[in-house]
Structure 1
Amino acid sequence: MDIRKLTALAAAVVMTASCVVSCKKKNKDESSEAESVTEAVSVTEEETVGTYPDYPITYPEIEKKPTGDLYEAEDAKLGKGLKVVSAPKEETTDKDGKKVKSEADTQPATKFDPTVKPDTVISKYSGEGYVSGFKNDGSAAVTFTVEAPTNQHYDLSFSIAADLFVNCDVLVNGVETAAFKTMSDSEFTLITLYGVFLTKGKSEIELRPHGDIKLDYLRMSDNTSLSAIKYDAEKDLSNKEAGRSAKELMDFMTKYYGKYVMTGQYASSPKNDELELIYRTTGKYPAIRFSALHTNNKNFDSAFRDIDACANWYRKGGIVGLMWYWEAPSKTKQSVYAKDTDFRLSDAMTDIDIAEMTQEEIRGLYGEGKISEQCYGLILDIDNMAGQLTSLKNKGVPVLWRPLHEGYGDWFWWGASGVDAYKWLWELMYRRYTNYFELDNLIWIWNGQSESTLVNKSTFDIASLDIYLDSGKDYGSRYEQFLALQNIVGKEKLIALSECSTVPDIDASFRDNAVWSFFGLWYGKYMTDENGEYSEKFTSRDALIRAYNSEGALTLDEYIKLRGGEKLIPDYGSEKPTTTTEATTSTDAVSADTSESTETTAVSTD
């Protein structure tokens, strides 16, 4: 089943909250507060910020009720230039010589048939005809007025035929809510948006294609798929020899999975400007400090400041997340982007099991011509990064480790050579870090984002998505991608939003039963203006304040409370000596202030 076709990037419709949901509200004081937390945050006592109330999780009370209605396109409000097309009238005679209408003219017009499922090809249109005449610029739309019997989530299925792939936008009560692409086989097919929330009464559903299609009808039925989302993830890490700090962090994350969304922010430099800006704006710090280590084979030593900043954040009670902007190990063109480097991962692949060999053994293979220069370059980079991660291990810092991000795409070199190469590199890195370097502080995050790039489930702990939307679009909960990813990896894995352009709507996340383990807001234009001040281009100030003060969100101070307020690691004066061979190179890493992610990402099952 093609999720791009059936799920079609539907988004929850954020309605005006009419009441506080009747379920019990989340209590952030589940464990006793410690008498004192000596190193909570790095703000001076003189610094003052505004105080904000706690916002309860609020959304209209949901009443589940089986329902189903069919709305013919010819009865909807048609945009300028659209027309209703009907088959020519044909008359035949029966055995007695009486004239009868053709089969096409006698199909039922508005009867709802629950046995007709999405992804169903329908041989004939229903009703009096279908609507056509849409423009390529999306200027013509059909608006259905539907009647929702209760406040609940609905599946909206459009019967569409098209000769070419056509992008379609869906607006609900004037808010752009979803987008999908039609099929191109000229057959009427149901394309379904799952779990769109509607309040009781009338709503307007507008379909705006960017190209000509044949639109037959809209079918609205109560949703059942969102109730399938579960939060019973396994707490055992993929690394059976994981260290205590990693186990404790994973225990915590699985314990509160589905109860809170953990807040996270990417820092562009060790100065933590973005985190301090969030504090000044909301009165709260994020629980997770994310960094993007930007390295190439000529520059690993510059990362020391960022690695040190990670350790400092952990000493203050926070959680550390790292990703790797790994420039390809090319001698001439180093870049993370495939178009800007001559390095090809396919040229590095080998059938020789090198994952747990020493550098001396691998160097020997290279000297004998048994592995390529590209393969040897990969190993050198992987081992150099192991030095950075070993530095954190020696300080007792667990790391949410997300390498090879957005692996399904072809824009980064690690995804550009196809899924086999991507999976080979993942397996190589996982085994080398886990078995050879014994990095027991890593919690592995798979960010392949496609069923085709799914690696061995025993080699990762969390599955995540990167989801970017244009500014001004309602971000909502992104429940449709949450559900699609859980269907791919299974309910035993935590599901997280590893990168986003906008802070997700916490109320909508609970309303839509899509409570991400955590989110990570990217930096740059997604948060600040040219002067480094807070920008409302993607997330309004009020939305950020409400998110960070929501009773459904977990911030740094609340995380420390739930952990008992204890000092999480000793303040080592110097690093412990490493016990692992060849965790070489310096413990420097890089600040990620030279890259910015711009991709919009969906879950793919092809």
Structure 2
Amino acid sequence: MDIRKIIALACAAGAAASAFAACDKKNKMTASVPIVEETTAKKTTEPTTTVPVETFPDYPVTYPEIEKKTSGNLYEAEKAELKGGAKTATDLPEFSGDGYVTGFGSEGKASVVFDIDVPSNQHYDLSLNISSGSAVTCRLKLGDEQLTEFRTTDNGKFTYITIYGVFLTKGKQKLEITPENGEMCLDYLKIENNTSLSDISYDAKGELVNKKAGESAKELMSFLSENYGKYMITGQYAYGGDNSELDLIYRTTGKYPVIRFSNFEIPDESYDASFKEVDAAAEWYLNGGISCVSWYWKAPSDKKKGIRTEDTDFDISKAVTDKEIAELTEEELRELYSKGDISKECYGLLLDIDNMAGQLTSLKNRGVPVLWRPLPEGCGDWYWWGAKGSDSYKWLWQLIYDRFTKYFELDNLIWIWNGQSNSAMVDKRTFDIASVDLYLSGEKDYGSRFYEEFAAVQKFVGSNKLIAISECGSVPDMDAAFRDNAVWSFFGVWYGKYVQNDKGEYNEEFTSKDALIRAYNSDGAMTLDEYRKMRGIEPAEAKADGEAETSAEKTTTTAK
């Protein structure tokens, strides 16, 4: 690496502790961001003995035999069962049948229950004809199980709202719709056989967008692409630089996840905690796994350094500039700032970007390829990087990509775009994997959202990109994923209550123990032992004392 880039990293923390400290020709930046030049990862904790409760058999992927039949049954709402005060009305024009149903109120207690007769085991599209003057959240249940939630339109006209790719079994069933927070008018339900599942493709080529990517990153991306649609790769978030969540998964299921997810931060003062996470990510790779790093970025503010929009006073729109700054040295950036050519918000972002580059450079120096996920959930306004609209978000994404790949020459990154919406789409030449975050309110089954989300993302990113679940609250059902032709590349369950309780024991609130065991032992899931075997990896911890490799590159061989 060019010495000027190392100097830039060393200066990135800013004068004193503030990113916005006064900066003029008289003030010199102090070196405080170390780059680890070592070639092997150090242990972050003393080794512990983790023993599974028991071993389990492999579970083959199974689901009912699918029989495709053309259908188009229509069910009038006024003839269905009305509950909680819902009533029939005829005031609006252009309704079907003898009327429509309204009177739902805003308390989420009224509903309509349709008795449906499903002609065969297959996937269906469920269309509801609804009129509403304001967007209302509706819950759709099949029997006692929630299928999905959706939002109505707000145009005051009867409009089709379709939930695609819902798997229904043959026979009589009850389908219930409940508006949760507002009034609406429901005309009818139409059920038709789905034809879009066959549009899903798994032909991603696996070529990294960074044409100067290193061999370890290329090999990992090639492996992910070769197994896309064949397996769902297991993953779990870890917190605090250790592997307690992953060890708990092993004790419960007899299997470790392949991917260790973690979050890197820009330290306020000490770098010890940050590099503990760096060491843990490197160690997981050296021991035969995959490391994924997210960046939940505390805003570079001198007053409120929050991640969420309400927790910071930082305004990203004030940082946006049309100046070409991605490849400038720290000295050149400091001069621009001192002259007022870039704002303090822009300069603060650059200091943080360079700090993060220092941590990722440490992984590069150890030969560690990284699934890299900056700016999560970019489509929303709940984080400051999305709070001022898509233009500011896209500008920041491009800045990070250019500075990391061109200036710092980080060739070990596989870029994950987690924008989640076509409105937040960045340049497709700047990411390798598209991902979504899936959380349900008090429910353990993803239902139709599994297919809906997958199909929606593939529609706007294209079939040449891998699609993954970067965060979720419960472990996906492997049988449902293969049944619905929505085989995500990988998933990552969030830490804390989503996997363990206050006593460090497995928490069944979001995924039952039986479901977890079945998922991790499913033939459709790839676990750490299987990944190591497929890639011919011998973990560093398994090597004999005189046979330890001297670099991370030597622990990984190309997938056969």
TM-score normalised by structure 2 residue count? 0.86
In 2, distance between residues paired with 1:504 and 1:364?
51
Corresponding residue for residue 439 of structure 2: 468
Residue 98 of structure 2 is aligned to residue 128 of structure 1: yes
Residue 164 of structure 2 is aligned to residue 194 of structure 1: yes
| TM-aligned CA distance change 1:330 to 1:301, over 3 Å | farther
| TM-aligned CA distance change 1:485 to 1:162, over 3 Å | same
In 2, distance between residues paired with 1:412 and 1:369?
27
Residues 58-92 of structure 1 show CA distances to partners (whole Å, capped at 9, x for unaligned) of 110111111111111122122253332346xxxxx
In 1, distance between residues paired with 2:155 and 2:323?
45
| TM-aligned CA distance change 1:86 to 1:372, over 3 Å | closer
8 A contact 1:394–1:575 mirrored in 2: no
Unaligned runs of 5+ in 2: 1-42, 554-560
In 2, distance between residues paired with 1:547 and 1:536?
14
Corresponding residue for residue 21 of structure 2: none
Corresponding residue for residue 74 of structure 2: 70
Corresponding residue for residue 85 of structure 2: 81
Instruction: Point out the more displaced range, 204-213 or 376-385.
Output: 204-213
Corresponding residue for residue 560 of structure 1: 532
Q: CA deviation at 1:341?
A: 1.6
Instruction: Point out the more displaced range, 393-402 or 188-197.
Output: 188-197
Partner SS state of residue 326, structure 1? coil
Corresponding residue for residue 409 of structure 1: 380
Partner SS state of residue 485, structure 2? coil
In 1, distance between residues paired with 2:381 and 2:363?
31
Instruction: Point out the more displaced range, 398-407 or 226-235.
Output: 226-235
Amino acid at match of 1:339: E
8 A contact 1:296–1:326 mirrored in 2: no
Partner SS state of residue 219, structure 1? strand
Amino acid at match of 2:135: F
Q: How many residues align?
A: 502
Residues 175-201 of structure 1 show CA distances to partners (whole Å, capped at 9, x for unaligned) of 111112222222111111111110111
Instruction: Point out the more displaced range, 193-202 or 183-192.
Output: 183-192
8 A contact 1:123–1:188 mirrored in 2: no
Corresponding residue for residue 459 of structure 2: 487
Within-5 A mapping of 1:275-286: 275-286=246-257
In 1, distance between residues paired with 2:212 and 2:452?
35
Corresponding residue for residue 547 of structure 1: 519
Partner SS state of residue 264, structure 2? strand
Corresponding residue for residue 18 of structure 2: none
| TM-aligned CA distance change 1:281 to 1:420, over 3 Å | same
Corresponding residue for residue 223 of structure 1: 194
Q: CA deviation at 1:300?
A: 4.4
Q: How high is the sequence identity, in percent, across the aligned residues?
A: 59
In 2, distance between residues paired with 1:548 and 1:539?
12
In 2, distance between residues paired with 1:187 and 1:420?
32
| TM-aligned CA distance change 1:44 to 1:411, over 3 Å | closer
In 1, distance between residues paired with 2:313 and 2:409?
32
TM-score normalised by structure 1 residue count? 0.79
8 A contact 1:297–1:381 mirrored in 2: no
| TM-aligned CA distance change 1:365 to 1:245, over 3 Å | same
Residues 320-341 of structure 1 show CA distances to partners (whole Å, capped at 9, x for unaligned) of 1001122111122212122222
Residue 308 of structure 2 is aligned to residue 304 of structure 1: no
Corresponding residue for residue 533 of structure 1: 505
Partner SS state of residue 455, structure 1? coil
In 1, distance between residues paired with 2:265 and 2:299?
11
Residue 136 of structure 2 is aligned to residue 166 of structure 1: yes
In 1, distance between residues paired with 2:61 and 2:550?
43
Amino acid at match of 1:81: G
Partner SS state of residue 486, structure 2? coil
Corresponding residue for residue 233 of structure 1: 204
Partner SS state of residue 453, structure 2? helix
Give the one of 373, 392, 396 matched to 2:367.
396
Corresponding residue for residue 30 of structure 2: none
Residue 182 of structure 2 is aligned to residue 178 of structure 1: no
| TM-aligned CA distance change 1:369 to 1:508, over 3 Å | same
Corresponding residue for residue 27 of structure 1: none
Give the one of 339, 344, 356 matched to 1:385.
356
Structure of greater Rg:
1
Give the one of 444, 447, 455 matched to 2:415.
444
Instruction: Point out the more displaced range, 509-518 or 472-481.
Output: 472-481
Corresponding residue for residue 329 of structure 2: 358
Corresponding residue for residue 503 of structure 1: 475
Give the one of 59, 67, 72 matched to 2:63.
59
Larger helix proportion of the pair: 2
Amino acid at match of 1:560: R
Partner SS state of residue 481, structure 2? helix
In 1, distance between residues paired with 2:244 and 2:297?
23
Query: What is the root-mean-square deviation of aligned Cα atoms in Å?
Result: 2.2
Q: CA deviation at 1:55?
A: 0.5
Residues 458-485 of structure 1 show CA distances to partners (whole Å, capped at 9, x for unaligned) of 0000000111112344234621111111
In 1, distance between residues paired with 2:50 and 2:64?
41
In 1, distance between residues paired with 2:160 and 2:270?
52
Corresponding residue for residue 12 of structure 1: none
Residues 564-601 of structure 1 show CA distances to partners (whole Å, capped at 9, x for unaligned) of 2356999666899xxxxxxxxxxxxxxxxxxxxxxxxx
In 2, distance between residues paired with 1:299 and 1:435?
28
8 A contact 1:145–1:205 mirrored in 2: yes
Amino acid at match of 2:312: T
Amino acid at match of 1:56: P
Residues 431-461 of structure 1 show CA distances to partners (whole Å, capped at 9, x for unaligned) of 1110111100000000111111100000000
